[in-house]
Amino acid sequence: MFESIFSKRGLSLERLHALIAISQAGSIVGAAPGNPVRNSQNSRQLRELAEYFGCELAERKGKRIRLTEEGKHLAHMTREFFRMMEDFQAGCAKRHVFYTIGGGDSLVQWLVIPRIASIVDAIPHIHLGTESLRTNDIVERVLESRMDLGLVRKSAMKPGLKSAPIGNLTYCAVIPHALLAGKTAPTIRDLFKTFPMAMQVSDGEFTTTLNAIATKLSPSFRPALSCQSLPQVLAAVRSRRFAAVLPEIATEDLPSNMVFTLRSEELGLLSREIHLIWSSRVTSVRPHATELIEQCKSAFQI
C-alpha cells in the first residue's frame, strides 16, 4: 500500500514543515528571520519537495516567494495533516485541543470575549484563542485551515466555507452630555457638523461608508480625532471630549447617563449581517469541532 509514495526519497515531515513556514511568511528569509542557516535549509528542502513531486511548488516574485497552485494545494493538505496529528498528540497526552476564533477587533472585544466563558464551560476539553484581523484575512485563513472559526460580514463569504447567521451588527451615534451645551435632541446632521468626532481611520468598508455618510451631511467634515480601532474610539468617548459612531454592542460599556444615543436611517447603511464561518472540512478532521460550532452559534447571537 502507498508504494508510489515510498518508492523514492525526498518526502519528509521536516520538508513539509518548511513548505508551511515559507507559505505563511511569504518568503524564505521571513520563515526564519535572522537565521541564514535555517533559511538555506528551508530553501533546499522546498527544492527537494518540488523534485520529489515533479512540479514547481513556488515561484519567485521579486524578493518574495509565492506558492503555485500545486504548492497551495500541498500546503493545505499538510496543514490539515499536521493539525490532525497535533490533535491526536493532545488526546494521547490528555491535553486540551486548541482552536482559534477570529474576528474584527470590535467583534472580538465586545462579542466574543464577553461570551466565551459559556463555551469553555460547555466544552471542557478545548483551549481557545482569539485573533483580531481584517475580514479578508479571516476568510483566507479559515479557507487555508490556519484558523478554525471566524466572524465576518455575510458579503465576504467565499466558496469552500460553511456559515451560520448570528444577527445584524447595527450602529448608533453617541454624544457625551458634556458636549451637548443645552441641545436636547441633536440630529444626525448636527453630529457631523457640530460635534468633535472620534473616528476609526482605515480603508475598510465601515470607514468608507461612514465617511460617505458624513460628507453627504456635512461636506467639510473632518474627524477631530483619528483612531486605529473602534475600541480606541470608545475610549475617546469615555473622555467626554468626543462624539462617535459605534456598534450598538459597544455602548453596553458606557454608563447610560453619560451619553446621548442617536439612531438614524443614515446610520442604518452601516448595518451588516454577521456570519460565523468555518471550513467545509473542519468538522470531519478535528475533534469537538461540531460541538464548538454549535456552542458558538448560540453564544454569539446578536
Say if residue 230 is in the same domain as residue 145.
no
Least confident of 25-39, 213-227, 271-285: 25-39
Which cell numbers hold the place of 173?
451615534
At residue 213, the pLDDT reads 95
State yes or no: pLDDT of 198 exceeds 90: yes
Q: With respect to residue 139, please indicate whether it lies within any of the assigned structural domains.
A: yes
Planar angle of CA 22, 28, 31, nearest 5 degrees: 55
Q: With respect to residue 249, please indicate whether it lies within any of the assigned structural domains.
A: yes
Name the helix (H) or strand (E) containing 198.
Answer: strand 198-200
Return the SS3 of 208: helix
Q: How far apart are CA 244 and CA 233, in angstroms?
A: 7
At residue 268, the pLDDT reads 94
How many residues appear in the chain? Answer: 302
Q: What is the span of the domain harbouring residue 158?
A: 96-167+273-299
Q: With respect to residue 58, please indicate whether it lies within any of the assigned structural domains.
A: yes
Cβ within 8 Å of residue 151, ≥6 positions away: 101, 102, 103, 104, 107, 108, 111, 112, 138, 166, 274, 275, 276, 277, 300
Task: Return the CATH number at 191.
Answer: 3.40.190.290
pTM for this entry: 0.84
Backbone angles phi, psi at 172, to 5 degrees: -145, 165
Cβ within 8 Å of residue 201, ≥6 positions away: 207, 223, 226, 227, 228
